[in-house]
Every structure is written in C-alpha cells, then in structure tokens.
Structure 1
C-alpha cells in the first residue's frame, strides 16, 4: 500500500513567504552595501582634501550717513568692500544666499543687504562690495549719547557682518549647504584723520575678519 504525501496550502504559503523575505533581505543588503561604499568614498575624499574655510578681510568701509531723526530712529548708509579668498588648491566654493549688515554696540544699524551669489575657484580671490542702508531704524534711547561720545573721541567701532550658505565642490561632486558667518570689527575714524572726500564722514581700512562655517 503506497503512501501519498501532500503539502498543505498553509505550508506552501509559508515557504513562499520565506523565499520572498529572503530576496528582500538580499536586495536590502546590496543597496545598503552600495550606499555605505559611496559614503565611505565621499568621506575619504573629504578627509584627503580637508577643505579650509574661506578667508575674508575688510579692505575699506565708508560711512556716508549716520544721524538720528528722532531720539530713537536712525538713518545710516555705509559702503563696504570685502576681499574673499579661497585657500584650497583642489576645492571650489559656491556662495549662496549672501547677506550683509552693520551693527553698533550690539544693535543692528542697517537692514540685511543682499549680495549676489557666486562661485569661487581654487585659490581664487574675489572683491565684494555692498551698500548697507537703514532708514528710520529703531535704536535704544542711549544710542545718541554713545554715538556722540565716540564721534567726539574721533573713533567708532562697528561690526560688519556677512552671513549665508556655501557648498564645497570637489571635481564634479558638490556638497550640501553649510551655514557660514563672517565678522569684521571696523574702527571708523572721524575728524582730521578721516578720509578727505567730503561726503564721507568716517572710514576704515585694512581689517582682518573671522569666519565660522
């Protein structure tokens, strides 16, 4: 008497499910391995090249207007010229969303001013100019006293700031965006030591800036 063995539908379904799960695991492992290799390659390039952060210096800043229309409203106009340098031999830099403003004793005295984005090649240097302006900006009640005291002394310390986002470029690979901040401390000179051009009431030259990425 022969014995017939047959598999139940439940047993077949379990075997088929196991085969599908195994295929998905292999596919997931393959994609994970590929992704890990790509990340490791990018990280190796990053470690090898190790891009240095850009350098900025303030070549000139001129104040054309700086007066209070009311005890707590300021009108200001400042033109600044910055030198931007990429110190990297193999890494280019895309500068995105550039903006600049000026502050005095912790108070912002101009609105954020847009600077056109640009690409900076290997070891390249670019000259940036921006005209910063503020119309009837609210300031602290003690602002007029502080400004008057500094102008009488012939010197005023301003902070000129640039901020935005940058991307590193290595060959054809371009990184994600990184925030960066540039801070330039400028000593504006008034009186007999100021620039002889009549519209300029204060000026500063040759200041090194700090950069954070």
Structure 2
C-alpha cells in the first residue's frame, strides 16, 4: 500500500471517529435537556354508604344508568380545578383512574345497587332491555377556590326516560358542594367522594318519589 493510500485511510478513520464522538455527545446532551416524565398518581372516587329510608318505596324496575354528556376537561380523566374566577385548570400529577363520565356513572350505579331500592340497575355498556333510563349532562365536576379555600362543586342536569317510548318523564338540575379539609389533592378527592355520594342519594330519592306509571 502506497504512502498516499495509508495517509488517506488514516484521515478517513479519524473523520469517522470524530463523527461518532459528535453523535454520542449530541445524544447525551439531548438526554440531559429533555424534560423528565412527571410522576402521576391515579385516584378512584371514594365510595360512601347510602342512607336507606325506612319509608322509601322500592322500585320494581330495571334501570339503566348512562354516562352523562360532558365536554372539555370533564370528558377526560384530569381532576379539574378553578383556582380563580373563570380560570379552568387541572391538578398537576393527579388523574382520575378513568374518565369523569364513567366515574360519575359507576358511582351512581354502585350507590343505587347498594341501596337495594331498585330491582335491577345496569349500565349503558350492557345490551339489556330496561324499563327506565337515567341520563343527563354533567356541567360541573371540579374544585373551586372561594376565599382561598377549595370546595368541590358538582352540577348535573338529570333526565328520567322511558327508553321504550323515548319519552322524557322528568328532568331536574342537581347542585352539590362540599368543602375540602385542605388544599392537598387527597383531601380534595375525599371531598369529591362525599359530594358524589350526596348527589347519588338525591337522585335516588328523586326517582323513588315519582308517581308510579
């Protein structure tokens, strides 16, 4: 091999080593500047015991509870908060274990089953016939700060339907608020559980008080 060839090969090897070193440096630099993944804690909605009235009239019907209509943050699994007027945000590093509409539906369904006052309670993922349906719009499911203190606000526009005739039998707006013990996320989640249980109870009492049809 001539001297010229050896020199050219030596320069080529140096160039390749330099390029490789540059790629490694760029990769290490990129790794150091990329934001770290934020740790996320997932929360279930705490359940609460439903108070069964001794005078309540049991409902001998099959009732389907549907996911409520919702939008924006309330359609996902972020835990919504309004820190100041008209500023909708979400708690960092915290999520509901499932979407808010499913969370709402499942808690109502569990509370109604627990009460034993309705013969059969099913959800909208079950392809079974039902005598009545509970549906509606979830307008609020968040914590709001008032004078520096958080409180949970849930607002639900309920509709009570006959699914066979597609007839709206009754409708009503339900508003529930519950103060949180402090501003920590676990305390806020606990307040959500109390507020949702109260709303489920109110919905059940509303349904049971309707005239039989």
Q: Which has the higher helix share?
A: 2
Larger radius of gyration: 1
- TM-score between the two structures when normalised by the length of structure 2: 0.32
- TM-score between the two structures when normalised by the length of structure 1: 0.32
Q: Which has the higher strand share?
A: 1
